[in-house]
Amino acid sequence: MIFYKVIISCYLLGMRAIITRHYKTLINAADEILGWGDSPRDSGWQADLEYISARLRKHRIKFDAVYSSDLERARQTAMFHARLLGIHLIHDTAALNEVNYGKLYKKKKKWVAEHYPQYKTDPDFVYPEGESFRQMQQRSVNYLSSLAESHPLQTVLIVAHAGVIRGLISHFLGLDYAENLKHKISHRYIGDFLFRGKTCVHYNELGKPSGFVSGGVVKVPFSCPAAEMSSVSSEARSAPEFPTQPVVGL
């Protein structure tokens, strides 16, 4: 009982972020690099989104706002959920974009792993004409931390990408980033992050388990370590800011 009272009191103090992944695309299905590019929807995309929607209804989660990356697959997914939730405006931002793979767009992942051994092994490797996983993690962590600090008492839905989600889980759960770059994040993943100020204090999963859970890295529900114990470097505090653009008329 004491544990649940602590969780309830945290809910009353901080922001709750429900984070899910965009719909599956043809490039995802072909096991190719997508990054900042985009792709048409794959068959079965709607079944995945309806699964997410059903899980949210089951947990009776009431949302105050919907956020997404500004890549089309995330924006369209966010609009799908927003309509069902009766929310008429979403906020999109490049801070939540997938890692920029630059010149590797549409390359087979197997080819990339053969020609770039740093792929999903070195979070600091900068992809040709792109960025590193660490840079992506820093901008997305900064954005979510700032959102949590400025929106206490709110519950928000965030639609992002597999790479972003791995980075957020690694940071807020205090896990080594390099060791956790390859965990699978399903299109039916639902992460439940509870914040007190900028600090994530509790994590759970409400959909198909991530590789972090199915691989035994963490058990949920999970009590997060203090922010100063997290794996992101202090450089994250000076990462560039990204404006949030409202999308109306849903």
Structural domain that includes position 85: 2-248
Average pLDDT for 47-75: 97
Specify the higher pLDDT residue, 228 or 175: 175
* Share of residues in the chain with pLDDT > 90 (%): 84
Given this model, what pLDDT does residue 1 score?
45
Can you give the CATH number for the domain in which 177 is found? 3.40.50.1240
Alpha helices in the chain (DSSP H): 2-13, 26-29, 45-58, 72-85, 109-115, 133-150, 162-172, 211-214
Q: How confident is the model at residue 2 (pLDDT cuts 50, 70, 90)?
A: very low
* pLDDT over 50 (residue 169): yes
Q: Write the pLDDT tens digit of every residue in 80-102.
A: 999 999 999 999 999 999 999 99
Q: How confident is the model at residue 6 (pLDDT cuts 50, 70, 90)?
A: very low
Average pLDDT for 6-11: 48
Q: Write the pLDDT tens digit of every residue in 196-208.
A: 999 999 999 999 9
Strands 199-205 and 190-196: antiparallel
Q: How far apart, in Å, are the Cα atoms of 175 and each of 170, 198, 201? A: 5, 17, 14
* pLDDT over 60 (residue 189): yes
* pLDDT over 90 (residue 26): yes
Average pLDDT for 114-140: 98
Q: How confident is the model at residue 13 (pLDDT cuts 50, 70, 90)?
A: confident
Strands 65-69 and 155-160: parallel
d(CA 44, CA 52) in angstroms, rounded, equals 13
Specify the higher pLDDT residue, 13 or 152: 152
Name the pTM for this structure.
0.88
* pLDDT over 50 (residue 213): yes
Given this model, what pLDDT does residue 243 score?
61
The sign one gets for the Cα dihedral 146, 161, 123, 202 is positive
Domain count, the chain: 1
d(CA 200, CA 169) in angstroms, rounded, equals 10
